[in-house]
């Protein structure tokens, strides 16, 4: 009976969060690069043309071809399909994070709820990496493919089976796709596989080495090479400008990445440190030696090391925007949730003494506070997103009306400034009063007019609204 109620609550929680992300997706307009890519996609006569478009991009600018082929395909579909697909991928990522937490219970509502809290509150630049379609396919979709690959390998290793040749071929191809998704995050997947090899070589006893890891690693390397050695990646890197080069340049990048790290992950790092301190206190009190302690913390350590490597691998190139840390944040989130689960369910060997009760109360209070915070954020920001979508729909309808009337130099309203919120990037990619501004040019090209200019909403309503 208890398992049945847990199952019901588990799927109810999934349904609620799916509805939320679907609504947020529906209320996020297609902006900036979305318009350029949609123009390209809808000019294609079929799949072959879409592949040729992506090949041209691979050779000249962006080499994340696996996710961008999918992007071009979905841009040919109605927006509702695109928004639904993006919502399902977000939910898939949440399930994959959940599956990478050890010591969870069957239909573990607490763990899944922690995953969703972590994604909604701590995901790096949520509007640009999850809701903005162009950013979502670079980061959300890429990370989902990468984590699906890692999760599959971990599952196949755990089964300890003798696999057929086609299993090796499929995991190689899966690794290839995962390696071709995102430069630093794909490298993080490779580190997870390396950690599996280390565990079986130096830690686990009486367990045979999982051969399935070898083709997985090879595929991942091949995909990563296709990504980082592409002509487009080199061309894009040539546009980056920095004040320092050589050793000074690397030191400067590390310093900048550390500041970005603090901005993005300070609270998560504090949570992670707290779980480590508690575990060290418990295992020291228990009398465990260093090897036993490291073994108990192994999953946290693995994902934390992968997080660090994923962040500081970016020092090899010009420091990117903060959204490039999205994948690193997912690895850190796994490490944090693993620490909380270990503290509550593994440490103290299931005893219910006063210390354990105090810890449960502390974690419960933090989770409750985060839940209340997220509730008000979703209510407030959700209402603002609906209003932004209304402004956007009015803008598009007005542009189409003006085009039908023969106008080629169009003035539209900017979004209401009061509607800006934590779950939109519409204001960072907003039209301006300069028709030559790059966002304005994207709109102009998309609608095929001479120019599009934007002015404050009140001014437009007074002078241009019917």
In tens, the pLDDT along 411-462 reads: 999 999 999 999 999 999 999 999 999 999 999 999 999 999 999 999 988 8
In tens, the pLDDT along 32-49 reads: 899 999 999 988 988 999
Residue 243's pLDDT is 57
In tens, the pLDDT along 313-333 reads: 887 777 678 898 999 999 999
Say whether pLDDT at 347 is over 90.
no
Tokens linked to 352: 């219910």
Average pLDDT over residues 116-120: 97
Say whether pLDDT at 402 is over 70.
yes
Residues β-bridged to residue 412: 454
DSSP run (H or E) holding 128: none
Tokens linked to 175: 């690794």
Q: How confident is the model at residue 255 (pLDDT cuts 50, 70, 90)?
A: confident
**DSSP per-residue codes, 332-367:** HHHHHHHHHHHHHHTGGGG---HHHHHHHHHHHHHH
Tokens linked to 3: 């398992």
CA dihedral sign, ordered 226, 228, 233, 235: negative
Say whether pLDDT at 4 is over 80.
no
Percent of the chain with pLDDT over 70: 94
In tens, the pLDDT along 143-195 reads: 999 999 999 999 998 887 888 989 999 999 999 999 999 877 888 899 999 99
Q: How many CB atoms lie within 10 A of CB 153?
A: 25
CA distances from 91 to 21, 85, 121 (A): 8, 10, 15
Q: What is the pTM of this model?
A: 0.94
Residue 351's pLDDT is 60
Q: How far apart are CA 113 and CA 116, in angstroms?
A: 5
CA distances from 43 to 79, 135, 439 (A): 16, 22, 20
Percent of the chain with pLDDT over 90: 65
Chain-wide mean pLDDT for the chain?
89
DSSP run (H or E) holding 84: helix 79-99
Say whether pLDDT at 384 is over 80.
yes
What letters, b where the CB count within 10 A reaches 16 and e where it falls short, cover 84-120? bbbbebbbbbbbbbbbbbeebeebbbbbbbbbbbbbb
CA distances from 411 to 414, 419, 443, 460 (A): 10, 21, 12, 8
């Amino acid at each position: 009976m208890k398992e049945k109620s847990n199952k019901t609550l588990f799927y109810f929680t999934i349904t609620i969060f799916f509805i939320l992300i679907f609504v947020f997706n529906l209320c996020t307009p297609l902006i900036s690069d979305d318009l350029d890519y949609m123009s390209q996609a809808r000019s294609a006569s079929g799949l072959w043309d879409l592949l040729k478009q992506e090949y041209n991009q691979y050779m000249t600018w962006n080499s994340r071809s696996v996710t961008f082929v999918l992007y071009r395909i979905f841009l040919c579909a109605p927006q509702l399909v695109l928004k639904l697909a993006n919502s399902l991928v977000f939910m898939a990522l949440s399930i994959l994070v959940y599956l990478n937490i050890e010591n969870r219970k069957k239909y573990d509502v607490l763990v899944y709820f922690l995953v969703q809290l972590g994604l909604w509150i701590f995901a790096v630049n949520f509007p640009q990496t999850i809701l903005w379609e162009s950013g979502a396919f670079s980061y959300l979709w890429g990370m989902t493919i990468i984590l699906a690959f890692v999760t599959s390998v971990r599952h196949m290793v755990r089964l300890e089976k003798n696999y057929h040749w086609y299993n090796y071929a499929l995991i190689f191809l899966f690794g290839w796709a995962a390696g071709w998704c995102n430069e630093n995050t794909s490298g993080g997947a490779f580190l997870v596989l390396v950690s599996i090899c280390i565990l079986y070589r130096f830690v686990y006893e009486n367990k045979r080495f999982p051969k399935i890891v070898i083709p997985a690693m090879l595929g991942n390397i091949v995909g990563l090479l296709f990504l980082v050695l592409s002509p487009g990646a080199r061309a894009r890197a040539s546009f980056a400008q920095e004040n320092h080069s050589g050793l000074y340049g690397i030191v400067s990048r590390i310093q900048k990445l550390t500041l970005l790290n603090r901005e993005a992950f300070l609270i998560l790092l504090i949570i992670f440190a707290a779980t480590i301190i508690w575990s060290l206190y418990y295992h020291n009190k228990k009398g465990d030696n260093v090897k036993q302690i490291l073994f108990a913390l192994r999953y946290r350590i693995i994902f934390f090391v992968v997080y660090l490597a994923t962040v500081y691998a970016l020092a090899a190139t010009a420091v990117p925007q903060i959204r490039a840390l999205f994948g690193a944040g997912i690895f850190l989130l796994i490490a944090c949730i693993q620490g909380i689960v270990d503290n509550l369910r593994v440490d103290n060997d299931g005893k219910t003494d006063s210390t354990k009760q105090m810890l449960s109360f502390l974690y419960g209070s933090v989770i409750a506070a985060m839940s209340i915070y997220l509730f008000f954020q979703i209510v407030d920001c959700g209402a603002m997103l609906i209003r932004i979508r209304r402004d956007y729909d009015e803008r598009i309808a007005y542009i189409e009306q003006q085009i039908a009337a023969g106008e080629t130099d169009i003035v539209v309203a900017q979004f209401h400034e009061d509607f800006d919120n934590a779950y939109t990037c519409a204001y960072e990619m907003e039209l301006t009063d300069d028709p030559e501004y790059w966002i304005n040019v994207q709109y102009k090209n998309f609608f095929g007019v001479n120019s599009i200019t934007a002015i404050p909403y009140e001014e437009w309503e007074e002078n241009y609204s019917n």
